[in-house]
């Protein structure tokens, strides 16, 4: 057992399996008391995929302190989750928003239900957890929020809702870091690369976008794919150390930043900045853009997403 997080209390949503399970285990091994939150038992053809009670029991058996929670991180449920942690352990120092759910579909086929589910869990749920955790986090000056974003935010065909939600998480992270920094609360985001088994439905819906995804989902920040990217359990274990380190005092100077984690490589991603600028007194006109300014703004750009083997036009039939 380590001591980096001795005496601290953490909530990990979506901790009944996968990446969240690894977060919870490593937090506990460093001395944190962990509320293991997950909706309940979910099963796959291979067996049980998520079980908060099982993970909490594993932590306790290993000598740590944990309590399971099966409350959903909705607007009201988030308040209950935070209350559970504070009632059980007396305080709250760390919030790791890791829960995820969603649907993928072509833009023109997406339903409102699919959109609302995906954005509700991956963005609204994250904000709800932050909203209700903040009054407790500000009582310490070393509190931490970690939000789980995704490389899908770089552009992921058939994942418009998930991409939008996960990129929204980045904006939420930056704003929370700025707003809460004066209270000693840090907020960072990770973009983990851990590929689980695809469902048959997923394979069907994404088949025609395979070539385009190879372009848009290319690794960022110099992080080349590794064998770990195809092994969810192995990749999950590679992600947790960076998350837990960000929760420790060693990272007290780190906030408002995003980290891409791919196998053995962790990359700090750059923040948006101005690439090229043009100027004209009284603002740019259409004629000026046609003649000069537009060329300087865009002459180095190209449409990288035109494929010779384009989806057949019949895919647009609803």
Active site residues: 162
DSSP summary character for residue 159: B
At 237, list the tokens.
Answer: 């274990």
- Exposure class string for 112-129: b at 16+ Cβ within 10 A, else e: eebbeebbbbbbbbbbbb
E strand or H helix at 89: helix 75-89
- Cα angle 92, 166, 122 (rounded to 5 degrees) comes to 55
Task: Supply φ then ψ for residue 250, to 5 degrees.
Answer: -65, -20
Q: Which two structure tokens, joined as six digits, stand for 309?
A: 């083997």
Evaluate whether 163 touches 209 at the Cβ level (below 8 Å): no
Residues in a beta bridge with 148: 190
CA-based Rg of the chain, rounded to a whole angstrom? 21
As a whole number of angstroms, the longest Cα–Cα distance in the chain is 72
Q: How far is CA 2 from CA 188, 244, 248, in A?
A: 23, 12, 12
Q: Which DSSP category does 121 fall into?
A: I
Sign of CA dihedral 98, 104, 108, 110: negative
Could you count the other beta carbons within 10 Å of the beta carbon of residue 202?
14
Query: What residues contact residue 115 under an 8 Å CB cut-off, 6+ apart?
Result: 103, 161
Q: Give the Cα separation of 75 and 129 in Å (integer).
A: 8
């Amino acid at each position: 057992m380590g001591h980096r997080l001795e005496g601290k209390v953490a909530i990990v949503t979506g901790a009944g399996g996968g990446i969240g399970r690894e977060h919870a285990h490593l937090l506990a091994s460093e001395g944190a008391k962990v509320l293991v939150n997950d909706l309940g038992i979910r099963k796959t053809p291979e067996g049980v995929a998520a079980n908060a009670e099982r993970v909490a029991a594993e932590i306790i058996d290993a000598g740590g302190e944990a309590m399971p929670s099966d409350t959903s991180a909705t607007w009201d449920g988030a308040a209950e989750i935070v209350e559970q942690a504070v009632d059980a352990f007396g305080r709250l120092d760390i919030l790791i928003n890791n829960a995820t759910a969603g649907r993928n579909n072509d833009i023109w086929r997406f339903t409102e239900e699919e959109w609302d589910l995906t954005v509700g869990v991956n963005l609204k749920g994250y904000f709800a957890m932050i909203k209700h955790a903040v009054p407790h986090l500000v009582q310490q000056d070393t509190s931490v929020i970690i939000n789980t974003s995704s490389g899908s935010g770089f552009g992921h065909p058939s994942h418009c809702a998930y991409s939008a939600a996960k990129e929204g998480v980045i904006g939420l992270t930056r704003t929370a870091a700025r707003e809460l920094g004066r209270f000693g609360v840090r907020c960072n985001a990770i973009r983990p690369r851990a590929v689980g088994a695809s469902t048959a439905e997923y394979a069907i819906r994404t088949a025609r976008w395979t070539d385009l995804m190879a372009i848009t989902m290319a690794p960022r920040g110099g992080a080349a794919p590794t064998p770990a990217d195809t092994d969810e359990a192995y990749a999950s274990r590679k992600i947790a150390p960076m998350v837990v380190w960000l929760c420790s005092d060693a990272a007290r100077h780190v906030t408002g930043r995003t980290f891409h984690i791919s196998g053995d490589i962790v990359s700090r991603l750059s923040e948006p900045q101005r690439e090229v600028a043009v100027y004209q007194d009284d603002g740019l006109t259409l004629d000026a853009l046609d003649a000069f300014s537009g060329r300087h703004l865009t002459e180095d750009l190209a449409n990288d997403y035109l494929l010779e083997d384009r989806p057949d036009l019949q895919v647009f039939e609803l």
